[in-house]
Chain A
Amino acid sequence: MFRKILLTSIAVIACLSIVVGCAPQAAPAAAPAATTAPAAAPAKKTYTIAIIHQQEGNPYFAVEQPGVEDAAKELGDTVIFKGPASMDVNAQVELVDSLIAQKVDAIGLDALDPDALVPVAQKAMKAGIKVFSWDSSLAPAGRLVHFDAASPEDVGRTEVQMMAKMINYEGQIAILSAGSTNLNSNLWNKWSEEELKDPKYSKMTLVKTVYGDDDYQKGYNLTQALLKEFPNLKGIIGPTTVGIATASKYIKDAGLVGKVFTSGLGLPSEMKEYIKLGICKEMALWSPIDQGYGTVYIAHGLLTGEITPKAGETLNAGRLGKLPVVDTGSGNLVIYQGKPMIFDQSNIDKWAAIF
């Protein structure tokens, strides 16, 4: 009998420690993301702002964090910066729901699905929360404004221009994209195709677009399959940091350096090796640090009423300068961070050390 009671209590204590165990761990882990207002500015109203990204552990979002924290410090706001464990729409909806329950003041959403998150975003707005999207856009019905890194046209066209220079405007190319429903990369690819219609690319053909779902293994296998299907392939455009890195890795592993080239949007620290090897001579990206930084300024601007938002208004975005609110048609309000930045052998060392 005694033994039984002992074992039961051990079992219950074990369960208890699981539930409790995560709480103390969480405090230090959440601490860097949550920056509280400095005591120096007691008169100013501080806001709680949630910036939701697409995936924990994804290096792209990890480098956004310092920017988010910088802006939070400058503005004196409390910022929650987090995302789901995997790119799961349902999990992102749950996150937004929990933020509504926490009664945050503003939510910036890097939407995993442009439509499925609209109902929960509308629910948040009904609860008085200012909702905007950033990076991957939410349908206009679900947000006040969208914060885009660079205009899709600039990104799509730049990718093709960089690739054309590498392969002397001649040969077959392919695109290794993100998930097939990813709004951003699909839009960039559309503009890449648009750029290819220019007569100067008449000797370049886009043979196939494949979707690697931002998964390293899948992207690697797809690159292998692409090169089997099109042995004369000259270049692969990766409009996603995972796509360009996996394609470059396969090219290096298969000994195809100098025969097949990559370009697209890459993370400098991940791509440094391949840029040095000459697999990728040029790639583009914006500064994710500044992107994270900008999201907090937009949230703050929406809360203070600096932007209502309406087309023609400008947001004072700290070190990013003054950013205009643009209407891209039918009331779709967007704020652009700037032109894409080009990385090559001349500047990769410097940027790889940063992100």
Chain B
Amino acid sequence: MKTSYLTYKKPFSISSFFLRWEWILVGLIIIASLVLTFLSPHFLDAVNLFDMTFNFMERGFLTLTMMFLIISGSMDFSIASIAALSSAILGKVYLATGSIWIGLLAGLLTGLVAGVVNGLIVTRFNIPAFVATLGTLALYRGIAWIILENIAITNLPQEFTFFGQGYIPGTIIPIPLVFYLILLIPCALILHRSTFGRYTFAIGGNKEVCRYSGIKINRILLTIFIASGLMAALAGAFMSARFASIRADIATGMELDVVIAVVLGGVSINGGVGTLPGVVLSLFLLGIVRFGMNLINIPAQQQIIVTGLLLIVSVYIPQVINRLTIRKTI
């Protein structure tokens, strides 16, 4: 079934088109929006809806590279720790040099190096990615703690915090949202229109077949890990800008939110299957549901239940769809 993604194109049929996971996500977003509009007078408000995105754009950045990782059958649990570590370096270099942009550069470099380390551990030592990155999750966070101890770096310059808190001048469009939308373009082209993207799916679909076909698996995986590290550093920088402060414990636990968003987006946790639109839709679905539940003051514990149920459903429904479409082709 998995390898068929590469070689076999299903004949078009209306029912299987509308059974696609993306349409179900669109449906869920519409349903959630209708329910929330009904329950809260403040939901259908352009300012509120745009402002809401501030809270999940860093997660959005991270879903993009996490999508490549999971599709290739890999994983990176250390992203939140990389975000913290690179922010710590960003802050320290800023304090030392007085230039936030040199700090930002140092932060991004840190993310790059962290990604290289992750990638090399996984590809050279053949350690499963989730084990390796669980290790670096602790390692990177630990270094961040050593660098910053219990101190917070505050008083970041306004031209920097603008990127986390600001709007496009004269509009209500948040800057982080703009960056996210721009990032979507190369991600879509690479994943769905390039050989690199094809290989990413292929590696997740069947690694052995790829190896015998002469695909340079390690080089592709290493590239994805480096991109993941860089993206984590970028997310960390945006978060520092949004909070106007840097602390060693930022983004703790965010990796799970990111994995949840990617899996809910229809990316198979077994690798080889997934689409960018699905991941984008699930990010907004989760964001809307979360914002809406806060808006109607649902207690936080009940919110977790909803996220959990959404996740289980997202794993279960594609199976149902698969079963249906298989019956059709037989």
Q: Which residues of A are interface residues toward B (Cβ below 8 A)?
A: 1, 4, 7-8, 11-12, 14-16, 18-20, 22-23, 25-26, 29-30, 33-34, 56-57, 80, 82-86, 88-91, 93-95, 97-98, 100-103, 113-119, 123, 139, 179-181, 186
Contact = CB atoms under 8 A, between A and B. Distances in A.
Interface in B291-323: 291, 293-306, 309-310, 313, 317, 320
Q: Is the interface of A mostly helix, strand, loop or mixed?
A: helix
B297 A114 contact: no
Contacts of B96: none
Given A19-B35, A22-B305, A115-B243, A11 B24 contact: yes
B173 to A, nearest CB: 16
Given A18-B310, A22-B293, A118-B244, A30 B320 contact: no
Contact of A114 (B24, B39, B152, B306): B152
A4 B324 contact: yes
A77 to B, nearest CB: 15
B31 interface: yes
B192 interface: no
Contacts of A98: 291, 294-295
Nearest to B54: A97
Contact of B51 (A18, A23, A97): A97
A18 B293 contact: no
Interface stretch (B70-78, B182-190, B251-259, B265-273): B251-259
Contacts of A7: 320, 324
A186 B304 CA distance: 31
Contacts of B244: 115-116, 118-119
A12 B164 CA distance: 36
B303 A85 contact: yes
Nearest to B29: A19
A180 B148 CA distance: 12
11 contacts: A18-B310, A19-B35, A30-B298, A88-B252, A90-B55, A94-B55, A101-B295, A102-B295, A116-B152, A181-B150, A181-B247
A180 B151 CA distance: 10
Contacts of A102: 40, 42, 295
Contacts of B317: 11, 15
Contact of B245 (A23, A94, A115): A115
B21 to A, nearest CB: 11
A115 B289 contact: no
Contacts of B35: 19-20, 23
A23 to B, nearest CB: 6
B253 A88 contact: yes
Contact of A56 (B252, B295, B299): B299
A340 to B, nearest CB: 24
A85 B304 CA distance: 8
B165 interface: yes
Interface string B270-294: 0000000000000000000111011
B15 A1 contact: yes
Contacts of B152: 113-116, 181
A103 to B, nearest CB: 7
Q: Which 8 A-B pairs have the closest CB atoms?
A: A98-B294, A115-B245, A85-B300, A116-B243, A101-B48, A26-B298, A56-B300, A94-B55
